[in-house]
Amino acid sequence: MNTFPRFLHIETLSKISNPYRNYAYFLFSNHKRRYTAVSLSLSTKSAEETLVVVGAGAAGVYGAIRAKTIAPDLNVVVIEKGKPLSKVKISGGGRCNVTNGHCVDNVILAGNYPRGNKELRGSFFNMHGPTDTMSWFSDHGVELKTEIDGRVFPISDNSSTIIDCLISEAKKRGVVLQTGKVVTSVSTSPGGKFSIKIEKCTIDYVEYVEADYLMIASGSSEQGHKLATQLGHSIVKPVPSLFTFKIADFQLVELSGVTFPKVRAKLKLETVQKSIPEHTQVGPMLVTHWGFSGPVILRLSAWGARDLSDSVYKGSLLVDFVPDIHIEDVKSYLIQHKNKFAKQRVISSFPSELGLVKRFWRYILEHEDLVGDLLWASISNNLLISIASRLKNCSFRVKGKGQFKDEFVTAGGVPLSEISLNTMQSQIQSRLFFAGEVLNIDGITGGFNFQVMYHIILNAWSGGYIAGTSIGNMAIAANLKEAAV
Ligand SMILES: Cc1cc2nc3c(=O)[nH]c(=O)nc-3n(C[C@H](O)[C@H](O)[C@H](O)COP(=O)(O)OP(=O)(O)OC[C@H]3O[C@@H](n4cnc5c(N)ncnc54)[C@H](O)[C@@H]3O)c2cc1C
């Protein structure tokens, strides 16, 4: 017989239950946190299974929809402590950079992931890659466009289009979304089920929910990492990724705003503990008030994220400002210029072949102590060689990290070696799944027109989809097995 104590949050339970289920709920309530155990036995019919998803971000919502699409009888509940899809809302400058439409080759795509580039070369993007994501949204009524640099946005240029599509699809499929609640701990019962502790964010309220499957899609939040460790996983320490460099050179301020379409930048880091590999990137660079930014720097920050953290963001940056010109050619352009314009002031003319801007030429001369009204004729060939070397290998001291726009990306999370990327299932705890930024994956490219392109959200769509597919299939198989008994 059903026994519902009056104070029990019937609405909550009815949302996540199903008329044919057997439930055992435990409820803490009131400020005194009085403990009450409630056992519900709603039917004698065989029990359907429950999936609880932690986090209503891109990975969680997409994964929940997929699981429910495959296994309509599976109870799918998404618990979200804040607003659903809040990062999707601000991603791509509020337009939602859904994916990259130019990266069709999975190996090249995986190469854009500082963390995950080896592992993602396998079947991950074959199972659900950029074109599949684009098709999914098109099939669900979202018109997309691909910009020249490959970034894909909804034609509305508004991330709400993506959010509305996901929320309405989740609703249509019967996914239950509970907001304002946080999953604070999880354990497993001897029968292999998950006992999930959920607290309300605003009031003193605790409930325990039992689930057959758990998908942790909690982004980079520490709470999500804690849940993973409670179930036996390790966490690669989160460190910032995607930031600008602060440079110790007060004369750089004069160059603030100057852009270099193509430089080769090599980062050498200082640490006493171990020898750190050098990181090199080629691409556009921008001078800011405090140092350097632009795709080449952001890529260095992403690829060197962990080494930079180990060296407390101290090191040297060697910049080749004319990467396409051999040093011998740089020297001969300078010598030819001297011979041709001997009577001109050094400050006011320089070889056009070097493609420099005037402000930067002045900066180079100041570093060679060539100030005043010197004429080209008075510059020794040794000094010209020194200028050529500086243009090819200019050294800057990195003294710290800055911030890139409002974006804060972290490297770290559950190691990929602890899950199976074909299913997103944990290799430590069966029926436990991970998707999205909770994993130690992050991706970035940059190079076209100073645009930086992330591939992080793509990992969330792909991982969510694969996890949802695996869970849906397992639930169907369990149902069939039960029906056969
Ligand atoms: C400003 C900005 C711009 C960006 N632009 C781009 C871009 O252009 N392209 C791109 O590819 N990526 C971009 N990203 C990154 C991209 O938005 C994220 O990588 C992606 O949204 C991650 O999805 P996720 O589902 O893994 O995590 P999230 O979106 O972080 O979702 C996790 C959810 O879990 C919830 N949660 C966490 N712990 C708990 C708990 N214990 N209980 C309940 N709920 C919990 C959180 O509140 C959150 O809503 C951008 C990010 C930012 C911040």
**CA 288-292-298 angle, 5° bins:** 125
Measured between alpha carbons, how far is 481 from 325 in angstroms, rounded to an integer?
A: 68
Confidence of residue 235 (pLDDT cuts 50, 70, 90): very high
Pocket of ligand 1 (CB under 6 A): 54-60, 79-82, 86-88, 90-92, 97, 182-183, 217-219, 221, 223-224, 406-407, 436-437, 454-458, 460
pLDDT value for 93? 86
For residue 221, how far is its CA from the centre of ligand 1 (angstroms)? Answer: 9
The yes-or-no verdict on residue 26 having pLDDT over 80 is no
What's the predicted TM-score (pTM) here?
0.85
Between 35 and 249, the higher pLDDT residue: 249
**Nearest Cα residue to atom 16 of ligand 1:** 457
What pLDDT digit, counting tens, does each position of 417-452 carry? 999 999 999 999 999 999 999 999 988 765 555 666
Q: Which amino acid is at 117?
A: N
The number of residues making up the chain comes to: 485
Locate the ligand 1 atom nearest the alpha carbon of residue 96 and give its number: 8
Closest CA to 396 of 297, 258, 274, 284: 297
Ligand 1 centroid–CA 121 distance in Å is: 23
Model pLDDT for residues 284-317, shown as the tens digit of each residue: 999 999 999 998 999 999 999 999 999 999 999 9
Residue 388 has pLDDT above 90, yes or no: yes
Domains of the chain: 10-239+407-484 (3.50.50.60), 243-406 (no CATH)
| pLDDT score of 361 | 96
Q: What is the pLDDT of residues 58-110, one digit of tens each?
A: 999 999 999 999 999 999 999 999 999 999 999 888 999 898 887 768 888 88
Tokens encoding 481 = 């097995």
CA pseudo-torsion sign 34, 40, 46, 51: negative
Q: What is the pLDDT of residue 465?
A: 98
- Nearest protein Cα to ligand 1, atom 35: 55
The helix (H) or strand (E) run that includes residue 34 is: strand 34-41
Amino acid 103: pLDDT: 72
Average pLDDT over residues 444-473: 82
DSSP-based three-state secondary structure for 301? helix
Q: Is residue 197 classed exposed, middle or buried when 0-12, 13-18 and 19+ CB atoms within 10 A define those classes? A: middle
Q: What's the pLDDT score for residue 383?
A: 95
Residue nearest to atom 42 of ligand 1 (CA): 182
Tokens of 29: 């309530």
User: Quick one: pLDDT at residue 25?
Assistant: 33
Q: How far is the CA of 460 from the centre of ligand 1 (A)?
A: 9
Mean pLDDT of 49-54: 97
Q: How far is Cα 435 from Cα 93, in angstroms, rounded to an integer? A: 23
